[in-house]
Structure 1
Amino acid sequence: VLDGVDKKAYLSALSQSKHLVITCDSSSMISEAALTGKPIYIATIPPKKSDKRFKNFRKLFQEMKIVRELGEKLENWNYEKLDETNRVANIIKDKIQL
């Protein structure tokens, strides 16, 4: 049982992995993994409560070809990795006309 998460180990795992498998209930981990550009598989687990928000999130990421459902075979694919810092910075610059 882990009492906490070693952030360095987590970031190292993201950088060293060829494929990433993440449970469907963690939109933050899926988002962080999408920054790597690596194939992300979603492992489905039974929801504890309504997961409409998670389903919509996963659907968007599937449409963007970032995630796939975990099956028996691991495949490689490419997608444009997320760069939200620069995307949001550009929106802000446009809004304040820099």
Structure 2
Amino acid sequence: MKIIRSKEFTGSRAWEALDIANMNGITTRLHWTDQPYRWHINDGQEVFVVLDGQVQMHYRENGIEHSAQLNSGDIFYAGAGTEHVAHPQGVARILVVESEGSE
């Protein structure tokens, strides 16, 4: 049993993660960041939940780039093969659920 106060989690570097759970190869991690990630494609599906802050999510579908503003409480679902990159607007805390070993 554990209780995690997500707003208290602060990393010493961008995209630092706190491992919360691994359930049959599906990981749940809390990330702290103040810097963009990089364009990537996950090995499988990803659920990306903004817990605190704002994130500009860029993604490509059929070779066309799109972006969406994600605010606290918003959820981004990336299906397998969805190329995407997150750009926090200041400090953000993000819950990510994905296959173990995904980027």
TM-score (norm 2): 0.26
- The structure carrying a bigger strand percent of its residues is 2
- Indicate the structure with greater helix content: 1
Larger radius of gyration: 1
Indicate the structure whose relative CO is greater, using CA pairs within 8 Å and at least 6 residues apart. Answer: 2
Structure 1 length-normalised TM: 0.26
